Amino acid sequence: MIPSQLVPSANHLWQSTLFAGVAGLLTLFLRKNRAHVRYWLWLMASVKFLLPFSILMAVGGLLGRHTIAAPSQLVSASDFSSFVEQVGEPFTATVPQVAMPAVPHSYTSVIVAVLIFVWATGFVTLVCRWTLRWRRLRASVRRASPLDLPVGLPVKSSPEFGEPGVFGIFRPVLLLPDRIMDCLTAREMESIVAHELCHVRRRDNLLTAIHMAVEALFWFHPLVWWVGARLMEERERACDEEVLLLGSEPQVYAEGILRICELYLESPLGCVSGVTGANLRKRIEEIMSNHIGIGLTLCKKAALVTAAIAAVAAPAIVGVMNAPYSRAQSASAATPAFEVASVKVADGSNTTVAPNGGMMIQRRVGGDPGMIDYKNVTLKFLLAHAYGMKEDRISGPEWLGSASYDIMAKKPAAVPNDQTMLMLRALLTERFKLTLHTETKTMPAYALTVAKSGPKLKEIDPAIVAASMADAAGGGSQQPPTPGGGRGGPPPMPIGGMNVNMNGQSTQLTGRVPMSDLVNELGHFVDRPVVDLTDLKGTYDIDIAWVPEGSDAVGGQGRALAITSSGDGTRTASERVVDMPTGTIFQVLQEKLGLKLEARRIPIEMIVVDHAEKIPTEN
């Protein structure tokens, strides 16, 4: 695990390293073919360092965006999409597993700052070094004497030039050491000039300059320098093969190169194409044997084209498959409407402040399950509640999390309670003129799984659950059957809805809920989304209390709320003494419920608000 600031860079370096490794395997496969083919493979491996796959994924996302009806469940990426993203982005951020919001550690920031300083020092040093050498060479070119040679580009001669070479990217100049024509025969000179003109036709100076930019940005990566050496080697071998194909005699050409090596030095810069670079002994051996690589067969051409398309298409396809889905905003004809609904801007009178000056975290227990009654809440909070996700998975205009509203609505008695959130979505869409879309992104999250010791959950009899749901749907006060089959006595707490009690020292979660409700509530206690992977389908009696780490309270016997329902349907809360350990939500879940939160990378649905009116329409 690494600091979050470095995760994108780490994933990009991994992608580029993997890409270069594949390119290296392809060059082995093509080792008997022409050198220019291997050169282009190494060049693509170099350019990949400048092109993160995230750009291709973003392009794919723009191309793949389309409209669908509002999904009731989270949209998951396909197995292919998940596989590509897991391979391309194996690194995740270091996130402390604590119950309270994570606070960045100072040492992490120091490490990141030091690494940035070291990188910047190396980058500046390398660029300055190359710039000084380039300026000296350019000054030498200006002082050089022009030569009248019919080669199709300007030719200059100077005793300062170390060897024959081509200077310049867009307006190249052929550089020749002083009196070189007195040292070489006419045929040797012709073959050497042919070699330099080959560099010009291939635009090797431009391509080498691109790799030098890669070396400057990623100077700390040994693979970058190794790829540069391979580029230099294949570049010179490609020119050698072309010179031989033009009809130069191998012995004359080899003698010309050796004569230059005896009299002169190598080029001062990689982007000044010379004649003496790469593995000279191996080059001379191949020149003397008149070795020219064979052309690509149809099969190899197809393989290279397929590999190139796959390299570009794979991240683009992931972007298409994870493209934003434009959410249909009109309420479905099957979704009922509230009998009465009021949505208005809050006047601030319902703000509750704790004695210590902070905001109290309070959720009311009781009330009509068919009623919605929120005071002084933000639109982001309402959307999170309506769609069953944390607020940090909702993005849009800045005021979504600051402007406050009061909302009250009552559903028809004949409409089941499980329709309430769908009705709330339709109400928010209508009153705020919402336009939303979803984006599925593979990101760090927590998977709720069953611990190795097995679940420690008390499942509620399905008959009791069914009866409770029937009562809620009918709006009556019929009591659910007792385990013995009879009726009577105070009914238990209704099915559905987690209750949270946070008194500043301890935390308590209670409810008779399915796993989905527990997962939604856990999202408020951790700094990542939570996804249910338990495969537990029942309804369970949840009642856990603990003292969060860092609290002034001490674990042991503590006071928590006991929630009961009376015969008339009202619910009351009273204090009771419970065993209250100290720890994190991670520890309490495993100890008390036999469940475990595991950090993973999981496809997560995000909601993006494209448009919303800050002032809701009239009631």
pLDDT score for 325: 45
DSSP helix/strand/coil, 354: coil
Tens digit of each residue's pLDDT (9 = 90 or more) over 83-106: 555 555 555 544 444 333 343 445
pLDDT score for 359: 34
Q: Which of 42-46, 56-60, 361-365 has the lowest mean pLDDT?
A: 361-365
Q: What is the mean pLDDT of residues 149-174?
A: 86
pLDDT, averaged across the chain? 75
User: Does the structure show a pLDDT above 90 at 222?
Assistant: yes
Distance in angstroms (rounded) separating the CA atoms of residues 174 and 144: 11
How far, CA to CA in Å, does 497 sit from each of 135, 187, 468, 493?
A: 73, 92, 13, 10
The confidence band for 118, taking pLDDT boundaries of 50, 70 and 90, is very high
pLDDT score for 284: 80
β-bridge partners, 605: 440
User: Does the structure show a pLDDT above 80 at 55?
Assistant: no
Distance in angstroms (rounded) separating the CA atoms of residues 34 and 244: 13
C-alpha 546 chain-centroid distance: 34
Question: Quick one: what percent of the chain has pLDDT higher than 70?
Answer: 69
Q: Would strands 539-548 and 507-514 be described as parallel, antiparallel, or unpaired? A: antiparallel
Of 345, 351, 386, 404, nearest to 619 by C-alpha is 345
The confidence band for 432, taking pLDDT boundaries of 50, 70 and 90, is very high
Neighbours of 553 (CB within 10 A): 14
Residue pair 323/65 in contact by the 8 Å Cβ criterion: yes
The confidence band for 385, taking pLDDT boundaries of 50, 70 and 90, is confident
H or E segment at 204? helix 204-217
Which residues, including other chains, have CB under 8 Å from residue 482's CB and lie 6 or more apart? 488, 489
How far, CA to CA in Å, does 425 sit from each of 145, 373, 395?
A: 80, 15, 16
Q: What is the mean pLDDT of residues 315-329?
A: 52
pLDDT score for 379: 92
pLDDT score for 564: 53
How far, CA to CA in Å, does 487 sit from each of 150, 296, 567, 570, 618?
A: 109, 85, 11, 17, 46
Most confident of 44-58, 118-132, 470-484: 118-132
Q: Which of 58-72, 113-127, 228-242, 590-604 has the lowest mean pLDDT?
A: 58-72
The confidence band for 224, taking pLDDT boundaries of 50, 70 and 90, is very high
Reported residue count of the chain is 619
pLDDT score for 217: 93
Neighbours of 96 (CB within 10 A): 12
Neighbours of 457 (CB within 10 A): 20
Distance in angstroms (rounded) separating the CA atoms of residues 269 and 491: 86
Which residues, including other chains, have CB under 8 Å from residue 531's CB and lie 6 or more apart? 74, 445, 446, 447, 448, 519, 602, 604
